[in-house]
A and B are shown apart, each in its own frame.
Chain A
Amino acid sequence: MTSKKVVLKFSAQNADKPIIYHLVKDFGLVINILKASINPHKEGTMVLEISGDRYEEGISFLEEQEVSVLPLNQEVVRNEERCTSCGACTVHCPTQALYIDRPSMEVKFNDENCILCLMCVKICPVKAMEVRI
């Protein structure tokens, strides 16, 4: 049984529903939550590894619940040459994957914490954050 990695995006309306519980209970899926976060506007992002025979049904269920499902086939990388450590992205990154190291004020990127929300890609004034497929 192969497992698949997906990124789920929850809106404020569905972020508090027990959706993952239903995936396990109703569809018998094995779920490994790799990353999860909710921003102050109550929108959530989750990176899951899913396996189980009823994978497709589970995904349809998610879509019915208006959770957006994206295959995890991209990564966000930082162009170290280009990043000026300005810090602008750090208050927009929901998981602190991008953060300011103090007192040096250097901006660090911990890609382990990145949930691929792509906020930094939009925010970075010098386009130092890039999406790789």
Chain B
Amino acid sequence: MTVERSYKEINERIKKGKAVVLTAEEVIQKVKEKGVEATAKEVDVVTTGTFGPMCSSGIFLNFGHSAPRIRMQKVWLNNVPAYTGIAAVDAYLGATELPEDDPLNNDYPGEFRYGGGHVIEELVSGKPVKLRATSYGTDCYPRRKIETTITLNDINEAFLFNPRNCYQNYNCAVNLSDRTIYTYMGTLKPNLGNAHFSTSGQLSPLLKDPYFKTIGIGTRIFLGGGIGYVAWNGTQHFPSMMKDESGRELTGSGGTLALIGDLKQMSARWLMGTSFRGYGATLTVGVGIPIPILNEEILYYAAKSDEELFAPIVDYGDAYPNRKSGNLGIVSYAELKKGTIRVMGKEVPAAPLSSYPRAREIAGILKQWIQKGDFLLGEPVQNLPGPEAGIKAKTLEEK
């Protein structure tokens, strides 16, 4: 291999303001013009981005102690319950948590107008949030009830900890049934009325590092507008390589990341409370990950374009809810982005759920941070398992 770079060398160049950084979109163009070898010699870092609903997200909070102290056995923020089965005045608020009096799907399809994700957005915007806590009273924590108002500035810590973000690849969802269905992949009209997909394709972080050669524990990232880190693999991390009939590798699939970062640095532009009709509330999260071009192989994958990346088409009318395996074929992100795909011989209008323009903006911001010398690359302290680890999903059976 002709190009070999270390993290240290790249970081030296970043500190001197000499690093060559391109977004994942820009590098595709460059590789098309000059080829992998010449581009690898030139480019130090490729930045990626994604901005989509990521349900497995939430925040750890520490509220500080009242006088007298309260243990806080139950906590509500703007009426949305937070988990408190940890130490006194610590809590975890999940993005999909709903107020106890939410009508849910009783009036189907429910609206799910407000949930944990919306509380997170309000906190990060600096808005006051109502805190209510109850407890049973102990000798060290005598208080049984408190109602007050907090803002992000008033409390000790607030960090985003998202156990499953950045899905490497995602299904293109359709509906073969004869009624409209309301899913986490949006509203799907009957009889293949529409298709929804949800990755940023050629800009998407894990699609550009399918073998987890660079993205690992400790990788420094753009998270919600601030700086965050890859903490671990995400839950349901089953990395694999999608292949075509001839065994040719197509697209990395199944990998996920657990992410962590300081909420106090983040902004509401990149953490938005989100509602899916008939499904629930969640949080749309902005993530950007830099890929160091350590060698040509890493660039080869980082330069894959929408034409070379594919999503499986899955029926959410029956196959998905009933965990039936198989799909209705695959489709490239280039075709998906054109707005019409062919499924079972039918033309189906396709639309994204994750924002490509915002993903592009994130990759651009991360590029600027690195160019300005503000953001050094974090060398993983440990790599994450890749497709070669062969991790398979376990299923849940009734016993």
Q: What residues make up the interface of A, taking CB atoms closer than 8 Å to B? A: 40, 82, 84-92, 100, 102-106, 122-123, 125-127
Contacts known (A92-B194, A104-B357, A105-B356); A127 close to B275, Cβ less than 8 A: yes
Cα distance, A102 to B352, chains bound together (Å):
13
Partner of A122, one of B277, B352, B356: B277
Nearest 3 A/B pairs, CB to CB: A105-B356, A91-B194, A91-B351
CB nearest to B352 among chain A residues:
A87
Cα distance, A18 to B158, chains bound together (Å):
62
**A84 close to B351 (CB less than 8 A):** no
**A87 close to B353 (CB less than 8 A):** yes
Cα distance, A82 to B269, chains bound together (Å):
8
**B274 close to A88 (CB less than 8 A):** no
Q: Please give, as numbers and ranges, the residues of chain A lying within 8 Å of B130 by CB-CB distance.
A: none
Contacts known (A40-B193, A102-B337); A88 close to B277, Cβ less than 8 A: no
Cα distance, A126 to B286, chains bound together (Å):
14
**Number of A-B pairs, beta carbon distance below 8 Å:** 75
**B349 close to A91 (CB less than 8 A):** yes
Cα distance, A95 to B284, chains bound together (Å):
27
Q: Please give, as numbers and ranges, the residues of chain A lying within 8 Å of B357 by CB-CB distance.
A: 84-85, 104-106
**Which of A82, A91, A102, A105 gathers most chain B CB within 10 Å?**
A91
**A90 close to B356 (CB less than 8 A):** no
Helix, strand, loop or mixed for chain A's interface? Answer: loop
Q: What residues make up the interface of B, taking CB atoms closer than 8 Å to A? A: 51-53, 111, 113, 186-187, 189, 193-196, 272-277, 284, 337-339, 349-358
Cα distance, A105 to B276, chains bound together (Å):
21
Partner of B186, one of A84, A103, A123: A123
Query: How far, in Å, is A42 (CB) from chain B's closest CB?
Result: 13
Partner of B351, one of A100, A103, A104, A127: A100
Query: How far, in Å, is B69 (CB) from chain A's closest CB?
Result: 39
Q: Please give, as numbers and ranges, the residues of chain B lying within 8 Å of A105 by CB-CB distance.
A: 337, 352, 356-357
Contacts known (A104-B357, A105-B337, A126-B273); A87 close to B284, Cβ less than 8 A: no
**B355 close to A86 (CB less than 8 A):** yes
CB nearest to B53 among chain A residues:
A125
**B355 close to A87 (CB less than 8 A):** yes
Q: Please give, as numbers and ranges, the residues of chain A lying within 8 Å of B355 by CB-CB distance.
A: 84-87
Q: Please give, as numbers and ranges, the residues of chain B lying within 8 Å of A91 by CB-CB distance.
A: 194-196, 349-351
Q: Please give, as numbers and ranges, the residues of chain B lying within 8 Å of A125 by CB-CB distance.
A: 53, 186, 274-276, 284, 353
**B351 close to A88 (CB less than 8 A):** yes
Cα distance, A102 to B196, chains bound together (Å):
17
Cα distance, A92 to B193, chains bound together (Å):
10
CB nearest to B195 among chain A residues:
A91
**A85 close to B358 (CB less than 8 A):** yes
Q: Please give, as numbers and ranges, the residues of chain A lying within 8 Å of B352 by CB-CB distance.
A: 86-88, 105
Can you sample 19 A-B contacts with CB below 8 Å? A40-B189, A82-B272, A87-B351, A88-B186, A91-B196, A91-B350, A91-B351, A92-B189, A100-B351, A102-B338, A105-B356, A106-B357, A123-B186, A123-B187, A125-B53, A125-B274, A126-B273, A126-B275, A126-B284
Cα distance, A89 to B196, chains bound together (Å):
10
Q: Please give, as numbers and ranges, the residues of chain A lying within 8 Å of B189 by CB-CB distance.
A: 40, 92
Cα distance, A82 to B272, chains bound together (Å):
9
Query: How far, in Å, is A11 (CB) from chain B's closest CB?
Result: 16
**Which of A102, A103, A125 gathers most chain B CB within 10 Å?**
A125
Q: Please give, as numbers and ranges, the residues of chain B lying within 8 Å of A90 by CB-CB distance.
A: 339, 351
Q: Please give, as numbers and ranges, the residues of chain A lying within 8 Å of B111 by CB-CB distance.
A: 122
Cα distance, A90 to B349, chains bound together (Å):
9
